[in-house]
Each structure stands twice: as C-alpha cells, then as structure tokens.
Structure 1
Amino acid sequence: MPVGACLRALPLIPALLLGGACGSDVQVNRLVPDVAVAPGALDFGRVTVGEEGILQLQVANAGTGPLSVHSIALEDAALSEAGVYVVTPPELEVPAGDSAAVVVSFAPDDYRVFSSAIQMQTNDPEAPLVVVPVQGEGVDGGPDIDVEPTGLDFGTVAVGDSATALFTVSNVGDAPLHIDRDSQQEGSGAFVLVTDPRGETITPGGSFAALVSYAPTTDAGDAGSLRLQSDDPDDPTVTVTFTGNGGATEEYPVAVIDAFSSAHPGQTLILDGTGSYDPNGNEPLTYAWSLVERPASSLASISNPSLAAPTITLDVSGGYVVSLQVQNTLGVASAVAVHSIEAQPEDSIYVELTWDADDADMDLHLVANDPESWFSRDDDCCWCNDNPDWGVAGDSRDDPLLAGDVSDGGGPETITIEDPAEGEYFVRVHYFQDNGAGTARATVRIYVAGELAGRYSQQLTHNQVWEVAYVRWPQGYVVEEGGDPYPSDERSCRI
C-alpha cells in the first residue's frame, strides 16, 4: 500500500501503529496544544465591601492539538473557601485554534488588599502550570459627591457688565467620582460655565472649582440651573441654581439636540436641533452650534453652525462633544445644551495613525503574516497598495482597506479589516517625507472588535521605519514589538 493511501485510510491510528502497518519511513506530526492566557494579571481595583466585581480571563489554544486545563484553582484556598474569590469553571477543554473564558469574581469581606494567584494545570508540555496574579482591595463606600454652595446669587449686574462666582464639586468618598459629560444646563443663557466640571473624574478627597459667569442682556432678571449627574450611588443628581438681578419667573427658549451617541470613524452624522423651542412662541429661533471637544488628532468641524440641523464627520476614533444655543425673536438666549458622541470602530481590526507635525508625511502599513514582506505588493497594505486581495479570493470582507493617503496635516491614516482571515498582521509606520518638519512623534491606535487594544507612540526622523505591533487573529491578541526605529531601504511597492 502506498504511504499516502495508508494515511488516508487510517487517519486516527496512533503513530506507533501507523509505523507498524505502513513502514518505518512514515512521518507523523504530533498534535500539541499551545496555551495562551490574557490578560497576564487581574486587578479588580477598589471594590466596596459587600459588593462584587467580575473579570474574565481568556484561555486560548494556539497549538495543533486539544488543550486540557484539568485544574483551575485559587492559590490561597482560604480565600476561595470564604468566597472572596470565586473561579469558574474548575476545568476546561479548548480545541485547537479556539478559546474559552474563565470568570473570576471578587467579593471582599474586609477593608484590605487581597492578593493571590489563579493556577491552571494544563497538558501543554511547554507550560504545564500557568499562574495569573490576582489582586483587589476591599473599601468602604464608593464615590460621594458634595457640592458647595448649591445656589449662586450674582446680585445686581448692569446690562453690558458681567460678574463671576464659584461652586466646588468635591469627592468625599473613597472611589473616583465621574461627572456625566451630558449633564444639562437649563434656564437663561446669560449664565456660562467658564470652567466646566462636566466630563471630569475627581479622585477621592479631590475637588473641582467651577467658575460661572453672568452677563445679563436685559435688566428683567435671570434664573438658571445645572443638573450635575454622576456615578454617586446615593446622590446621582445634584442641582446647582443660578440667580441674577433678582431672578425671573419667565420661561426661556430651550435648546434640544437629537443625534447618535455612538458612531463609527468616518461616519457623517446629522446634528438635529429642530426639536428646540420657545415656550412663549417667540419663533423662529436662530441656532449657534459649537464643537466643544474632539480627539487630539481630529480635524473635524461642524458643516454650518447656524443651521438647525448641520452635519459633522467623525474623522478619527474617540470622543466628540457638541453644543447648541438657540435664541428667540426677542434676543433671549437659551442655556447651552451639550451632547457627547463616541466614535468606535465597527471592523474587527482597525488601525489608526496620526502624527504631531503638520508638514510631515508618514505612511501606515499593514503586513500580512510575513513581516519581511515590507513593501511587497501582495502582502503590504499601504499607499501604493491600498486594497489588496487577502484571504479568500474575491471576498472583500477579509481584505484590508487604507482610508486615504494623507501627505500632511498630521493624518489620520486608517487601515481596516472587516472579517480577517486567520493569521498575523504586522503594523508598520514609515516616515516618508519630512518637508522640513524634522523629528516628529507618530501615534498608533489599534482596535480589536471595536475596543482599544493598544496605543503606542514613537519619535521618528525622516525615512525611519517603526515596527509597532502585530495582531494575531482570530485570538485578537495585540503584541507590541518594541524595537528601535531604523532607516528604510525601500520607498515604494515591489511589483
């Protein structure tokens, strides 16, 4: 019987029996598991005594044979018996190329740090014991907001003049206090937050001084307020009131923003302010939109800030904040409404390059499987090969796509893959032309399944190559390469 026929006929016979049946010249590869665990450590941070925190470990098998994790247990049995740490399941079977989750809960019963480790016994001959450190701290309470004062009276202020006053937001708890960025201001538009606590994170024992300016446009008096929303479990909403020139009983125009709170980089959104109104019917309204915040590398702007429903294109991933103030036919302005938008990638792999020198020209490269295929037309997605056919021929879902080749202005350049084929994808940056800019800092963000998996920065000079990191798919691991930049021998794609 030919050797090939023997192997086809007896696919499940052990190697020893194959050798006896078909001759000693038969070579059979061993099926060996290869365990990988991420993250390498679990830190629950500060958890209130009596509450529970939950984290996960991903156990992947990058080998060719089945992986058996026949024991998953906490190193400190006493903590496990007390229910401080609970690890499930107690064992796992992971097929080759697959992964599974281990769920770890932390429920502290005392006000101290609990340190231990999760031990996994496996059939991986290279890693029979995997140890993952675990830590958490039991604390009393959580964030606790305190606002003083909760009312500001600006007294009498003449039209054309202005006055300022302060209120302080403090965190008297023992966990970080997060103030909601979309906390809304109401009432008169004559009150303006000069220093804005919205979107701030206040550390335990810390505080934020909020400065408010009052500039009346009439002498009829004004009233307004700010509803601060936070993650304080007991007082999630605290209202600060504003009064000027004796206050007012009239109703003010109201600015209303209707827009998505999340979107994808590159997406154009409509900012709909048509729901704004004047309760007294003094319309039509005039509109004044502003882009309050955008990511550091973004060049986004609002298309026509005086329209009722302008647009904005989210050019990079990250957070954006827009605001709207409307004015009625009597010249009375609303309080400023705010709305935050998070641009989150939808593709399985999303790589973004930006840089800090407007005159510099940097290029993003994504190389498939072989990192030596730098500037190879088939394997390198870059400016001279922006949409190569990878994976299954003719299937665009597993092909990379370079969105634009930006030659100045700091980027961004992005490469995305909707549904990558199995393999490794190497991220490279080439400082193609400096145009007199000299040394510049490049920043790369890598998103996997919509989540930021790595952010890396590096100073580069003209013609240097930076080997950033690689993504292993389908495991979704991102591994930083960490080498020093070096001069490039090539500057264009090989045919």
Structure 2
Amino acid sequence: MRGVCGRSGSWGRALGLVLLLFGFGTAGTHCGNKVGGGDAPIIEVQPSPQIVFNHLALGQSQAELVTITNRGNVTLTVRKVAISGGGGAFDQKGIVQLPFSVKAGEVVTFQVIYQQIDETDKSGDLIIESNDPTRNELKIRLISSKPRPRLDVAPNPIEFQKRTDPGQTAQVEVLMKNVGTADLKISKISRQGDPAFSIVFPVGSPFSDIADDGKPGSNPEALVLTPNQIYKFIVIFKPEAVGEASGKVIIYTNDDTLTEGKKIIPILANSKGPCLLAKPAQVDFKQTLLGSGDTRSVTLESCGKEPIQVTSISLKPGTSTDYSLESLPENRYNTDLGQGDTLLFTVRYTPGENGEDDGVIVVETNDPDRPTLEIPIVGSGTDKLCPVAKIDVDEGLAVLPQTTLHLKGNQSTGADGNTASVVQWKWTIKQPDGSTSVFIPSDSVPNPIFEANVAGLYKVQLDVWDDLGQKSCEPAEVTINVNPIQDIHVELVWETPGDPDEFDEGPNAGTDLDLHFKHPLATGWFDLEYDVFWYNLNPNWGLLNPNFDNDPSLDRDDSDGGGPENLNMNNPEDLVYRIGVHYWRDPGQQSPLGKPYGDVKATVRVFIRGVLRLETKPTALQRFDFWEVATIDWSTQTVQELSNSDGTPLVTPNYVPPIDLDALSGN
C-alpha cells in the first residue's frame, strides 16, 4: 500500500488556511515512485502528514504553500478540498472550481492560511478526495498553539571572564528578550548568593537591586515586553575578598514554560584556575606606641578548584624597616596546596618614631593569571593614642548620577578603640565642578546623606574627636566614582559670579537656566511634543509601550542656581538630536541681594554610554540668551559642538520663546 511520501519539516512554518490555486508545472521529484508504474493516478501532497502553526500573536495570519502532484500516468481528478474542525480558525478561499484535473507528472499549487482568532489551541484536518484508487481520501492534520510569552536571557550563565580582585569592579550587561508571541509580564527581578553581586537597572525602571525572597513581585505587570522587545540591565561584581563567587539572578514572569514562571540565571565570578587568599587582605596595626612591638598573623588559603604553589614570601623593597616577617613556612614552598589548604606566618611591627609606616608583603605563586599576591601593611607609630575616623558608603564607591549617598561615620573609634568614645564629627568633600550639593542635615552628624548629581569623582573626608577632646590623627577618606550608564546622558551646570551663596536653595535663591533636548521633528525650541525641557519632562518619542525604556527624560530640573540639570535617554533612534540652554530667570529685585545676580557661565557635558564625549568651555550667558550647544547623531554615536563661523558659541541674545513661559509655570 502506498503512503504519502516526501515529508518535509519546513512546512511546519505554516500559519494559515486559505486555499488558493496558483498554477501547474512539471513535478521536480518523483518521491521514489516510478511514473508509468500502472494505469492509475497517484496523488502526492506536500506538506504531510501535518502542518504545525506555532506561537502566533493574536490576529496574525500566515499563508503556507501546499502542492498536489500526480505521480501516476493517468489523469488525477480531485473531487474535494475541505476543512474539518478548528472552530473557524481554519478557512479555505480561492480554490478553483471542483472537481479539477491534474495530468500525469503535473503539479497543482495552492495556499493554506491560518488565522489566530483567540488564545486557545486549535486543530483540524485538511481533507482531499480524489480518484487515486489507494488514497481516495487524504487527511493532513492542522495544528496550532495559542500565543505564548517566552523569555530568553543572554548571557546565560552570567560569567565574569576575567579575574576581579578586591577593590576592583567588573560588570556584565544582561539582555532579556521576549522571543514569544504574547506579552511577557515581569513582576520582579532579584538576586541570590554572594553579596559582591548587585544589579543596576536603567533610570525609570520599576525594579531595584534586592535580595530574593522566593516570592513574585506585588505588581504582576511591573514590566511588560511585547514580542521581540529587549530590556537591559547590568550585573556588577565588586568583591571584598579573593576567591570564587557565585549567585543567581531570578526573574519572575508569566512564561508558562518555566517552573512557577521563574527564570534562574547562574552568576559566576573568579571561578577558573588556582587562587590564593590572604586573611586579612591588609595587615593593619593601627596605632602602636613607640618602644613597644606588636604582631599580626597572616593566613594564606588556597581558594581555587586547582592546586596552587607558594614559592616565596618576602617584604617588597621600600617597605618600612619597622616591619619584619616571622615564622615563614619555608618547608612548604613549592608544595601543592589543595582547595582549603593554608599556610601561616607572622608580621611584626616595632615603630621607632611618630608617623605612618607602610609596606607590602609579596607572595610569589605559580598562578599564571596572578603570579604575585601583594598584601599591604599599614601602621602608625605614636607617643600617644588618638581617635580613628572610618567612612562607610551604603551605596558603594561606584554609583549613578542622582544617587543619594548614605555616608556612615558611626564606626569611627576613640583612642580607647570604642565607638562610644567619639563625640564629634566633621565631614568635608571635594566634588566635581558644577556640583553644589551639601551634607544633609549638616556636616557635623555621624551619618549624613549627600546627593551626587554630577558625574565625576567625589573625595569625602571625615575627622572625629573623642570625649577627651582628642582629634583623629588623620582624616578618613574615600573616593566615589559617579558615572552614568545610559545611552545618552547630558548635564548642565553653571556658575553665577554675582551670587554670593550658590549653595543656598529656595525661591529667588539663584539664577534659572534650562536644559533643552530637541527631536528632529520639532518645529523649533519649546515644541511641546518634541523638545524636552522643564515643562515637557518625559515625552513619548518611541514605542507606545510605556514599559520600554526608549524615551528621553529630564530627571533633574534646577531653578535656584548652579544646577545640575540632567537628561537621560536609552535606546534612541538613529536620528540627530539637538541640545540647547536657555537663561530664563534672574530674580532681580526679589533676590536676597535686592538686585539681579547678573551673567552666568554655563557648561554642558555629554556622555555616550558612560564615556564623556563633550565638555564645553564655560560659556558666558546673559538673561534671555539661548545657547545652541551641540548635536548628537545616534546613527554614528557622535557629538558635534555647534559654533558660529568665527568659532564663538552659537548664542542668540534676547531670545523670545514662541510660548508664554510665565503662563506655563503658573506665574
């Protein structure tokens, strides 16, 4: 008995069921059957035995080509082409009048079209009746699946390829994509494992960096990705110790192919090769009285999956002669240390005079990636003990602009080594040009907060005094790197020489400059749809899906002097955007001075994906001036500063906006 031959999996791409007769032609293959093998027609239908329609979005349809070939040597008569089942999702249209004939060796071609009419699975049969004596009724199974969301994450696993040592920071960009055909709903993104890992989300994201509690988010539609839509975030690795670290990113979704809708992505760092860990990572003698000696023990531990050999331990040239090494494990040099094996030695400190002493212990190994492990030594000789200031930053030392820093000085200790002995704190900061933030509530509390609004380095220092009135011998100091990660980040800062206090806040406290970011469709500056400024903070320029981060946003507007004003944008289109600055207000007689503040000097910085591409020179502006600063061509990711033909800034004096700004502001 003959079967249906020549099955092809490629036909499974079909999406529709409309039958349209296209034409006739000579068959290209014979499927192993011999034409002329008897006086009878032989029907062959492709695809067969089924057409599978997978993952269609609601309302979509797609045509699939179907062929009938007569492999016999007698004319084939097709009496019926019909659909059975499917609840109306399958239909036939355009078929030629029945019956029709197919001569020996000829091919009839028509289409099958499937329409996704609801979200349920569908099935039916394509029925073809003919005068083939052995296959007078042929059924092709029609199968469809309802639209479903599917989450794909790359990379998976999230692996930090290079070794990251304590104090260093590494990052991996993670892309989530909805590869399904229905909306992917994400309620929460969280993490488990080593606290050295953290997650940074784009500005405006509904998520924050949190540890996983095993529960979905309270809002099941916190983030909605349409089919093929992508969402990005960054995983940061900032270890405090040497050694392997692991964790997980857990994404809660409505993807029904996942157990409980959870996508679990492993995170791996420092997972390859040998590894040697020093405990402590830094030998700190703190304050040591002159004429006395003190010792600290150091443990070297093999922390990798592969064995490691220690070949020598010594003091680095230039190390203070007040330090010496004792109890060296020379009998175990060049011996394999398996994971968890340790070596122990001692460092002695005998200060000879007041002041700081430092040095480095050098441990040589056979680790090809890090053959030398250096262990810093710090100490201070003194003829009297004094308080020790200590700074902790909850948010870490690498943050985004507009991060509120929680500074902690309450772990500082008095000369007696107790935190309770510290009774006075004094904070100071050196911040980037244009930053006018202050410590809140003041610079004399143990744990102030500080808003880091401008990109750059912030050097924070703390001095403390104990209950005996003794000041710390030296201030504690940390440097915080504030750097944007958005595709486009624009900052406006300015100085007002006539303002005696640019750090004060409130009505009439300073001059008011406004940052503008214009779309090429704008009719001009102050376009209420295509110009971003203080009245149009977050227009929708991209996809209408509010959960996709592709619109510009003026995230900080400053009206009382100095700035900054910050604009951010992710996933811009390949267009040319324009940046401008308007000097709008000077309080004049309403200022605390009782007179205008006068001219300003404005600076604009443009970052592309965290890299500073343009920092203008301070540009003098008078009230009502409009300065056209630069363009950003996203197709080439280039920034071009604008100027007059003589090279001077492109400033229009006494610019008259096309709208009433006072009316917009309610004044």
* Structure with max Cα Rg: 2
More RCO (CA 8 Å, sep 6+): 1
Structure 1-normalised TM-score? 0.48
Structure 2-normalised TM-score? 0.37
